[in-house]
Amino acid sequence: MRLISSVTRRFGAVLVTAAVTLSSVVGTLAASPASRPPELPDLAPETLDGIYGDNREYIEASAARAEVDGHYERAETLRALAQPGRQFLSFDARAEGRAVEVIGNLERAEVISILVPGADVSIDTFDGEGRNPRALGASARALYERSRAMSRERLAVVAWLGYETPDTFSLAVLNTDRAEEGAHELRAFVAALQQVNDAPIALMCHSYGSVVCGRAAIGDSSDERGLEVSDIAVFGSPGMGVGSADELAGEARLWAGRGSGDWISLVPNESFSILGTTVGFGDDPTDPSFGALPLNAGDGGHSDYLKPGSPALDRLALIASGNAVRVMAGG
Asked if 19 contacts 173 with a C-beta cutoff of 8 angstroms, the reply is: yes
Q: Is residue 55 part of a domain?
A: no
pLDDT tens sequence across 91-128? 999 999 999 999 999 999 999 999 999 999 999 999 98
Asked if 287 contacts 265 with a C-beta cutoff of 8 angstroms, the reply is: no
Q: Assess whether pLDDT exceeds 50 at residue 16.
A: no
pLDDT attached to residue 313:
96
Q: Is residue 236 part of a domain?
A: yes
Q: Is residue 152 part of a domain?
A: yes
Q: Is residue 56 part of a domain?
A: no
Residues 6+ apart with CB under 8 A from 292: 234, 245, 254, 255, 256, 285, 286
CATH number for the domain spanning 252: value is 3.40.50.1820
Band of residue 22 on the pLDDT scale cut at 50, 70, 90: very low
pLDDT tens sequence across 227-236? 889 999 999 9
Q: Is residue 60 part of a domain?
A: no
Q: Is residue 192 part of a domain?
A: yes
Tell me how far the alpha carbon of residue 149 is from its chain's centroid.
Answer: 23
Torsion of CA 228, 229, 235, 237, to 10 degrees: 0
Q: From CA 131, how far away is CA 137, in angstroms rounded?
A: 8
Q: Assess whether pLDDT exceeds 50 at residue 277.
A: yes
Kindly report the pTM of this predicted structure.
Answer: 0.88
pLDDT attached to residue 34:
59
With CA atoms as reference, report the closest residue to 88 among 124, 50, 122: 50
pLDDT tens sequence across 244-272? 999 998 889 999 999 999 999 988 887 77
pLDDT tens sequence across 76-85? 999 999 999 9
Q: Is residue 73 part of a domain?
A: no
pLDDT attached to residue 130:
58
pLDDT attached to residue 148:
94
Number of domain units in the chain = 1
Q: Is residue 185 part of a domain?
A: yes
Range of the structural domain that residue 152 is part of: 2-30+96-328
Instruction: Decide which of 331 and 297 is more confident.
Output: 297
Give me the amino acid identity at 48. Answer: L
pLDDT averaged over every residue in the chain:
86
